[in-house]
Amino acid sequence: MTKKKILIAVIIIAALAAVLLVITGNRRGRNLFSSITMGNEDLIKVNGNIISAPAARIFLIAECYDAAQAYGGADLWNIQANGHPVSDYMIDNLEDDLLILMEIVAIGKDNGVELSSTERNLVTQAADYYYSEMTSSEMEYFAGRKSDVEQAFEYYAFAMKTIETLSGNADQVVSDDEARVISVQQIVTTEQSAAQSIVDRFNAGHEFSELAFNYSISSEVDRTIGRNDVDPVYAEHAFRLDAGQISEPFQVGNNWYVVYCVNNYLAEQTETNRAGILDLRRQAAFLETYEAALAELDVYINQPAWDLLEFYSGTLQTAVPFWNVYHNYFS
């Protein structure tokens, strides 16, 4: 099975700031059942939490809008891929995404997560505004009620809060040394003797950049790196240098390297890297909770209802994108 990339916004296309979750696209570990006892418009039920077909179509409208922006038009849905319309793949992807969304909702409720009264009011306001701005083509395809729009916003907001809450178990302290980003120049050779010769030439007064131009087998000379961006052996040699210092030759794989430190602390890039490391920790903390909880969830999929879910055959005119409305109210 391929891995599914899910922005912390859960649905592929949209994003809530800065944390990328990678959740496997298979259903291993889930108590997964096929259900025909749910309502005709009920698609997924996880521990009693149900998402409706009209709410799912809200997310499909959002994906259609984003794809049209990215690829220049809604005609994308008429393109065939491996003998099937692209829209079929988008619906299959949405099923996985909404399955994960509803699992996160269930996990949040099991862990005592709740929307505050202020957040619930924002859900209502966002849904009211989005519903009032829907175009005639959106309304025709949506075929639902304002309560379905509110369901989409509520589940989405609740999932975001669940991720934020359960990610809080991560270690919040990232040391300067761990986060540090440096600027270096490198020379790559295939022989240790050639790398040592470069060190000798540098010590004799030659400019490192000139030596790189003349002797490196790699066109990449200037690099800005954090510890996790390079091989551990490379990092060990590069991060012990002060500005203006050169490393001894060292081997990574089949090549030999000599590294010259231009700047041993780039402040702005270091702070960006610190935030990225913290995001990865938060991702890991949430993912650990998510995967451990799967076995405790009862997941029902109404496959007949999914089989009836189709993309709008015409051109969807979108006045106010779902994600824009969400961020306007919740950012």
Residues 301 and 241 in one domain: no
Rounded CA separation 188/158 (Å): 51
Has residue 239 been placed in a domain? yes
Q: Are residues 159 and 10 in the same domain?
A: yes
In a shared domain, residues 234 and 283: no
Domain-terminating residue out of 209, 237, 264: 264
Q: Is the pLDDT of residue 74 over 80?
A: no
Q: Is residue 9 part of a domain?
A: yes
| Structural domain includes residue 321 | yes
Same domain, residue pair 147 and 193:
no
- Dist. CA 203–CA 128, nearest whole Å: 71
pTM of the entire predicted model: 0.73
Q: What average pLDDT is seen over the chain?
A: 84
Is there a single domain that holds both residue 23 and residue 139? yes
For the ranges 133-137, 245-249, 285-289, the maximum mean pLDDT occurs at 245-249
Residues 75 and 138 placed together within one structural domain of the fold: yes
* 64 and 39 fall within a common domain: yes
Give CA–CA dist 3/61, Å, rounded: 24
- Same domain, yes or no: 126 and 53: yes
> Do residues 128 and 194 both lie within one domain?
no
- Evaluate whether 267 touches 247 at the Cβ level (below 8 Å): no
The residues with which 34 forms a beta bridge, in sequence order, are 301
Tens-place pLDDT, residues 198-219: 999 999 999 999 999 999 999 9
Phi, psi at 187, each rounded to 5°: -125, 130
Domain of residue 195, residue span: 181-264
- Asked if residue 272 is part of any domain, the answer here is no
The CATH number linked to 240 is: 3.10.50.40
> Looking at the domain assignment, is residue 117 inside a domain?
yes
11 shares its domain with 153: yes
Interatomic CA distance for residues 126 and 117, integer angstroms? 14
User: In the chain, how many domains are there?
Assistant: 2
Flag whether 175 is in a domain: no
Least confident range from 104-108, 122-126, 207-211, 281-285: namely: 281-285
* DSSP strands (E only) in the chain: 3-7, 20-24, 31-34, 42-46, 49-52, 80-81, 84-85, 181-189, 222-226, 250-252, 255-263, 298-301
